[in-house]
Structure 1
Amino acid sequence: MKNVPEILPTDVTALQEMVVALRAQNDDLIAKNQRLSDMFRLAQQKRFGNSSESYPGQGELFNEAEELVEQTVEDDEEEARTSPRKKAKREKISADIPRERVVHDIADEDKFCDCCHHALHQIGEDTNEKLEFIPAQVKVIVNVRPKYACQACEQNGTSNNIKQAPVPASVIPKGYATPSLLSQIVTSKYQFGLPLYRQEVMFKQYGIELSRKTTAQWMMRSADILQSLYDRLRRRLLEQPVIYADETTLKVVGDNKSKSYMWLYACGADSPGGKLTGTDIPNIVLYDYHASRAGQVAVDFLDGYDGYMHVDGYAGYHKTQATLVGCMAHARRKFTDAQKAMGKHKSGKVDWALNHIQKLYRIETQIKDKTIDERYRIRQEESLPLLAQFKTWLIKSEQQVITKNDLSDAIQYCLNQWEKLVRYTLDGRLSIDNNRAERAIKPFVLGRKAWMFSQTAKGAQSSAVLYSIVESAKANGLTPYDYITHLLEQFSQPEPDIEKLLPWNVNLG
């Protein structure tokens, strides 16, 4: 037995046990290798692949024109094949945009008949519209206050009573920023993601020197002015029976932590100016900055709120007093990730789960315009049986999928979240997912790609207030620039009526 290593036992039974142990170890290594391969494939797909749930990022903005042109050509060609006589429809220019009428007439000497030389009379006209863009115009408003005195009193040496109009109300006393200028800077950054240093360059081309330090101070001052409106919106949000919550990371340079967080709370309809049928829930979107992701942050903001709250699977929300409603979109995303990670190795289980979840969403599409009672009734009749089938399949599949992978993670997520995932069937005001919050937080995520970080915690807090005003305006169908300009004008006056300035009450006419 020279070739047999000394470490191997000579007993047959011991050798068999060793072989079994080695096989188990080998199977475990194979499973771990497959798990790592799936994770790598999913990471590659998320970074470089297409996603139906993704929003256009900065990288995609550079080729969107080419893609749109190619798609338009394809659509025109398809329309020509299917409807050769049908003319393409042009996009209409809004009737609210001012019109300038330019008449292109023939010369007066040509307004005679070439045959009989009688004068011609107008029988009609042809028109077409062209859209012209007028670049931003900047002007300086010089407030002049004449001073008046009594000349007779001056000559008699008596006290002179000087009269003068009071100083006009100003949003920033002793500053030269007007509400329209502040609103332009606010919306450029917080609606369109244009960092302050780029705005500095933009203003310079108009001959205006506005440093980033100055505009940053203005932004914090504007947030301070609008804080009372933010507080009123928060109070109204916490009065609602249903709210939505989410959070995302934020880098704050002046903070010692590597990650800070911007929390989001919303209520109302998802579409601008829309309302859930049968409710008077206002459309509110509020951001709240904190250096922590601890559940106590949500507890403090909610201040004892005990209504329904749509959330994802983050455990921190369990510390609140709210009744949590799960997100089926997150559950679906888990199975979608499993499908992507498997690549060519398709799984019938993943397909079954995705198809079954799609049936639940199909019901939601059909009842979106129904009343609260009708939504509740249809979910009880149609959604609950599908959910019961889904849970039975999850329990059975959990026992069959013993290897740790993305599919097992998806199954376990659904089982762990099951009570919250089915809670939307208990009330017609609830939603099947938390997409209302995810869509509301997306503008901040996209803006963050442009300006990347906040310098200080105070700046991040100001950003939370200004983002809240911009997004709440959009949620109520308002133009943020007009709304914020109006707000700053009103807050320049003594004792503004905040209730009349709420985005669903305000009159911008």
Structure 2
Amino acid sequence: MKTTKNENINKKLNNEPLDDLKNENAKLQHELEIANAKIKWYEEQFKLNAAKKYGKSSDTVEHEQISFFNEAEINQKPEAEEPCLEKITYERKKKRGVNKASFENLEIEIIEYSLSEDEQICKTCDSKINEMSTEIRKELKIVPAKVSITHHVRKIYVCKSCNESGDNTPIVRAPMPEPVLKGSFASPSLISYLIYQKYSCALPLDRQQRIFNDFGIDISKQNMANWIIKTSELWLEPFYERLKTELLKETFIQADESPLRVLTKDGKDSSSKSYMWLYKSGSYGKKIALYEYTPSRSGKNPKNFLQGFSGFLQTDDYAGYNSVENVTRVGCLAHARRYYTDALKALPKEAKIESTYAYAATQFFKEMFILESKNKNLSPSEKLVFREKELKPVFEAYLAWLQEVQPKVVPKSSLGRAINYSLSNWELLTNVLKDGQCELSNNAAERQIKPFVIGRKNYLFCKSPNGAKASAIAYSIVETAKMNGLNPFYYLKYLLEELPNTRLSAENSLDHLLPWSKTLPHECMSEIKDKK
């Protein structure tokens, strides 16, 4: 049956509104999806920022956040043996605080309390009472730092016979150590104390000035700053360069960087953000940690500092390290894991954490670090064999998981960024399997730069590039001393006594001063070893 022209027109008019409504509905649905995705992203950012501001900085997820009903399955350890019950009875003498091993060599002051002759009479029978025993109360006593002035008196000799005969009269001076700063009353011990207080104890110079004033000593913070900078330029910088030579001989180095505010010569903020860089050796090499101040974060900075180094360089994923030549970059599994823990922190409270992709990813990292903890005492070659056998399959399983999950998540979400981070840095992360010296994470470098970060929070900025450079050198020597089990103050004091009297240009002239030297005086050794 043929339709008329009017019928076709009516049919078209009737269908057009329906098609328009379908298109409009599809458009609104698409806009709603985009809006929901944005809302979810903003909620994630809000929760994550709140967690960073008010929560713990640890990457771990608290067990209290895991679903109560799955607690048994999550915490179970099938390989653990059943405990054997055994009743043990023993007596133990309670230790007091002053019995610590670190107190054994302290000077002991004894104060006795006794009765006078008149008081040694029994109030019952008026007979004389006799001493039966003693009670001892121990206290740890603190005496504030003692400040004194030392007069270095040099005797000068002359030959009277030559003087009487009119010949050239020889004048002989007794040998005397060179001062750390000529024309200054600052001693090696004073400058070492200032450096120790600022760079080991994070005590700014203005607070040190107030402390000196409290004990009647007038030393301005300007003088303190000048002493530190001048000492750094004259003596500590050549020693720093000697340590750098040793560091570049290593085959594995970890690095990190942190911003620093530095004022210009006129006291104004610099136009560019300055940075403090850290370069440290691994656990199998000589223990060295060096800091470097630079006026920018440019990749040329690590390239210039590490010129001559060849080996493995472990950092975060900052692209500036790509400019370093002749190195194999190693990624950080802790950074990769941190993206997932951030995603977990952004979840709503009612979410079942253990059923999320982010929680599943953290289990791969947990297994990796547990495996790594089992080979701490192995040599690099033994550790490499262990990783090839035990760790590599976990990496492969994690990669398969990433490839499976990636298409299912929103790329710009917290979870999407976590997955993309691991995939885009996969080569860096798996380079840990190439050498047993490499660490699974760069956490050691992050811990090592913490003293600078803590100090920066106290003194806020450096007043000049020269001051920032001196700070980098001071941090280097203080932290390297700690890593080698030395007392930073006594080690600095020893350096500042020896360096002015050492021919710095002579080959191997500084070897006896290096922090691992066997000839260092016992005074430099720390009684309590640093665990870094």
Shorter-chain TM-score: what band?
A: 0.7 to 0.9
- Contact in 2 for aligned 1:308/1:325 (Cα 8 Å): yes
Report the CA distance between 1:106 and its aligned residue.
6.0
Determine the structure 1 residue equivalent to 2:528: none
Q: Which stretches in structure 1 are left out of the alignment for 5+ residues?
A: 1-8, 55-81, 111-116, 270-275
Determine the structure 1 residue equivalent to 2:514: 502
Determine the structure 2 residue equivalent to 1:282: 286
Report the CA distance between 1:186 and its aligned residue.
0.2
- Contact in 2 for aligned 1:304/1:320 (Cα 8 Å): no
Tell me if 1:236 matches 2:240. Answer: no
Decide which of 313, 324, 329 is 1:324's aligned counterpart. 329
Partners of 1:460 and 1:173 lie apart in 2 by 23
SS of 2:374's equivalent in the other structure is helix
- Contact in 1 for aligned 2:251/2:309 (Cα 8 Å): no
Decide which of 38, 48, 54 is 1:48's aligned counterpart. 54
Tell me if 1:389 matches 2:391. Answer: no
| Amino acid in the other structure paired with 2:306 | L
Determine the structure 2 residue equivalent to 1:433: 441
Report the CA distance between 1:291 and its aligned residue.
1.1
Decide which of 457, 465, 479 is 2:473's aligned counterpart. 465
- Contact in 1 for aligned 2:254/2:282 (Cα 8 Å): no
Change (3 A) 1:309 1:252: same
Report the CA distance between 1:193 and its aligned residue.
0.6
- Contact in 2 for aligned 1:31/1:404 (Cα 8 Å): no
- Contact in 1 for aligned 2:180/2:500 (Cα 8 Å): yes
Tell me if 1:340 matches 2:356. Answer: no
Partners of 2:299 and 2:50 lie apart in 1 by 32
Partners of 2:89 and 2:421 lie apart in 1 by 49
- Contact in 1 for aligned 2:280/2:445 (Cα 8 Å): yes
Identity across the alignment (%): 35
Determine the structure 2 residue equivalent to 1:113: none
Matches within 5 A, 1:213-292: 213-224=222-233, 225-254=235-264, 256-269=270-283, 276=284, 281-292=285-296
Determine the structure 1 residue equivalent to 2:464: 456
Determine the structure 1 residue equivalent to 2:44: 38
- Contact in 1 for aligned 2:291/2:472 (Cα 8 Å): yes
TM-score w.r.t. the length of structure 2 is 0.79
Change (3 A) 1:472 1:96: farther
| Amino acid in the other structure paired with 1:32 | K
| Amino acid in the other structure paired with 1:336 | T
Report the count of equivalent residues: 461
The Cα offsets for residues 185-223 of structure 1, whole Å up to 9 and x where unpaired, read as 001111111111111111112222211211111111121
Matches within 5 A, 1:197-208: 197-208=206-217
Determine the structure 2 residue equivalent to 1:73: none
SS of 1:422's equivalent in the other structure is helix
Partners of 1:230 and 1:331 lie apart in 2 by 34
Partners of 1:53 and 1:244 lie apart in 2 by 20
Tell me if 1:296 matches 2:294. Answer: no
SS of 1:177's equivalent in the other structure is coil
Determine the structure 1 residue equivalent to 2:194: 185
SS of 2:276's equivalent in the other structure is strand
Change (3 A) 1:368 1:162: closer
Determine the structure 1 residue equivalent to 2:527: none
TM-score w.r.t. the length of structure 1 is 0.83
SS of 2:449's equivalent in the other structure is helix
Determine the structure 2 residue equivalent to 1:419: 427
- Contact in 2 for aligned 1:171/1:179 (Cα 8 Å): yes
Tell me if 1:209 matches 2:214. Answer: no
- Contact in 1 for aligned 2:279/2:445 (Cα 8 Å): yes
SS of 2:496's equivalent in the other structure is helix
SS of 2:29's equivalent in the other structure is helix
- Contact in 1 for aligned 2:255/2:314 (Cα 8 Å): yes
- Contact in 1 for aligned 2:250/2:309 (Cα 8 Å): no
- Contact in 2 for aligned 1:31/1:403 (Cα 8 Å): no
Could you tell which deviates more after superposition, 256-265 or 86-95? Answer: 86-95
Matches within 5 A, 1:339-418: 339-344=344-349, 345-347=351-353, 348-402=356-410, 404-418=412-426
Partners of 1:83 and 1:199 lie apart in 2 by 53
Could you tell which deviates more after superposition, 169-178 or 158-167? Answer: 158-167
- Contact in 1 for aligned 2:228/2:470 (Cα 8 Å): yes
SS of 1:486's equivalent in the other structure is helix
Partners of 1:158 and 1:420 lie apart in 2 by 78
SS of 1:367's equivalent in the other structure is coil
Report the CA distance between 1:97 and its aligned residue.
3.2
The Cα offsets for residues 370-416 of structure 1, whole Å up to 9 and x where unpaired, read as 22233222211211111111111111111111352111111110111
| Amino acid in the other structure paired with 2:37 | A
- Contact in 1 for aligned 2:59/2:341 (Cα 8 Å): no
